[in-house]
Amino acid sequence: MENLLFALLQMLHNVGAVSVSACPLVILYLIQRRLIFNIRKILTFTLLMWLVQLFTGIGFGITSYQLYGHVPDLESFAKLALILKISCLLISIMGYSFLLFKTQTEILLNAPMTWQALSLLGLIPLLSAAVLRWYV
């Protein structure tokens, strides 16, 4: 049963990780091709995926604590990886929330660097996860 819980959390976490990395690149692609799309839907979806990241991450800790009576001990590299993941998550949630208060035109006027940076904020936690897995 415990493996099923961790597997379900991991599946949700992975879907969120791919989404938060890819969605800004999709936006950049659509803008560069001058294709008409509803950017708010993509921004809202990406923000929701960041929240999935947040809650599944918390879920890993809660599940470990409930099953084993403690959270995993983290070595220094794993702690750094976790801090990077949480930092990117918080910055991204604030960034996407801020963007959702702007008009479609204001959002579309953002430089490509904005979308590249938001994609990088999704990619860093994805790469940090490998370090976290290795050192836990």
DSSP assignment string, the chain:
-HHHHHHHHHHHHHHHHHHHHHHHHHHHHHHHTT----HHHHHHHHHHHHHHHHHHHHHHHHHHHHHHSSPPP--HHHHHHHHHHHHHHHHHHHHHHHHHTS-HHHHHTS-HHHHHHHHHHHHHHHHHHHHHHHT-
- Write out pLDDT tens, residues 84-121: 999 999 999 999 999 999 988 888 877 788 899 999 99
Given a cut of 70, whether residue 136 has pLDDT beyond it is no
- Summarize pLDDT for 59-78 with one digit per residue, the tens: 999 998 998 888 888 888 88
Q: Is the pTM of this model over 0.85?
A: yes
Tell me the angle at which helices 76-100 and 112-134 cross, rounded to the nearest 10 degrees: 150
pLDDT tens-digit series, residues 8-18: 999 999 999 99
Percent of the chain with pLDDT over 70: 99
